[in-house]
Structure 1
Amino acid sequence: MENYEIDKIKDSIIDRIALLVTSTSDIAPIISGIANAVRMKRFRKRIDIHEEKIKIIYRSLDMEDYEFFAEKIGTMVFEKIMNDHEDDKAEFLILGFENCVNNDIKEEDVIIFYFDLLSELRVFDLKRFVTLSRRTEEAPVLPLEGIGQTDYKMFIDSTDTKLYRLGLVNLSTTWGGEINRLEPITISRKGNAFLDFIGV
């Protein structure tokens, strides 16, 4: 889309909001409409990126499994893809879906538990978790550009604490409650089961 068209759409939205604000005190309906339109556009983009993998998953379904995997689990996965704030989370959600189908995982409570856990983690948390597992050749998570070492350490510590709180890693702490970086962080039994679920 040309910049001119994007600007026209943006101006139109601003005009509609301004008109609504001057005519009524309730702007919730139009804001809700805009939010839904943005969410749908984002959802389509995420699905387009992973379209081939999704088609492969659906083609692999047997007729007797179609209702469970396609309608029940697939619908839940696509809702999570639509509602998540991070584009890259879609890849992990689809990996989990693919793993359920390929390994014929049908314990609904377990599936919901793991997908809820996926929703709770940010993409950075997941990448940090995977690199800690050493299950892949992926390089260690590096400091983000423009963030000082002290800020970065706080960011990593926060992520590691979150992984620990969720029971995905084992770590030791100092007397002051800080993470003891002299001791290695290891993946817990629950963490390994979660990695198995997302096919890492």
Structure 2
Amino acid sequence: MASQKGVMLLDFWASPFGQRVRIALAEKGVEYEHKEENLSSKSELLIKSNQVHKNIPVLIHDCKTVFESLTIVQYIDEVWSDKTPLMPSDPYQRAQARFWADYVDKKVYDCTSRLWKPKEEEKEAAKMEMIEILQLLEVQLGDNKYFGGDTFGLVDVAFVPFTSWFYMFEMIAKLNVEAVAPRIVAWAKRCQERESVAKALSDPKTVYEFICMVMKKVLGQE
């Protein structure tokens, strides 16, 4: 059994990437120290721990650092392998899980950032792309309970934090996720019945208000 001593997470409350790690740690029953970061004034510990990107999340375990959320989640799964696995045992299914988790990483976050574009044609193009992304993920989910079938796993951990953004999608782009991808919304509700998810996810309206504040500063939007 892996040691739970010296486990610390450097994190930020609104980060979907940090939420992934919190969910994985909770699923494994790992006790850890949580350090909330101020991203406008990063701590010396964060800068020292992640000298490459100087960003959260960072997992510190037995004085060793791991960063990038999907890497951290897979590290947690391998280190605490005596607990319920987040990755399937079959090599092909593991490859599929890694692919779709990476797809979420590359597509959902990037497309969301473009929903804030001030030009309507750019915003509309991002909205149409997001609909395609959600519908493709819905096809991948199918009629399964989770993306891993009956088992909550890597793709669920990777994607579910972004469900807190669905309210934001509707407010800034008039994108009603339930109308275009109802199975994704049903899946999100099932995931939120898990204690690990319910405790990690931020309130959608609070996230929206925070992102509005950030975008106002970055883009000068009212």
- TM-score, normalised with respect to structure 2: 0.28
Tell which has more relative contact order, 1 or 2 (C-alpha 8 A, sep 6+).
2
Tell me which protein shows more strand as a share of its residues. 2
Q: Is the radius of gyration larger for structure 1 or structure 2? A: 1
Tell me which protein shows more helix as a share of its residues. 1
